[in-house]
Amino acid sequence: MKQYYTYILASKKNGTLYIGVTSNLIKRTYEHKKHVEPGFTQKYNVHKLVYYEVYEEIYDAIEREKCLKRWKREWKIKLIEKSNPDWDDLYNGII
């Protein structure tokens, strides 16, 4: 069964945040880390995977992404710190 992910990247602890959605979390995080595409994450050096959620339906993942983007920064930080208090890069744990 295919899985979809809503994820948050950070430049550092309490740094710049980026929220995205993908069907291949490993590949997409790698692309952010290696600056494959120019854009926001390259410009602001946002490459640490600090949070992600798994969904069975793409529509649910996209809806969650939209919801998180509307959240206040303070809420996003609390969400990250609830499961990742040290803001560790979760990428190595999923590859």
pLDDT of 37 reads: 86
48-55, strands of its sheet edge to edge: 17-22, 4-10, 48-55
pLDDT at 6: 98
Check whether 8 has a pLDDT greater than 90.
yes
Average pLDDT over residues 65-93: 98
User: Mean pLDDT across the stretch 56-67?
Assistant: 98
Distance, in Å, from the CA atom of 27 to the CA atom of 10, rounded to the nearest integer, reads 17
CATH architecture of the domain covering 4-94: 3-Layer(aba) Sandwich (3.40)
Average pLDDT over residues 8-29: 98
Domain ranges of the chain: 4-94
pTM: 0.96
Question: pLDDT for 66-75, tens place per residue?
Answer: 999 999 999 9
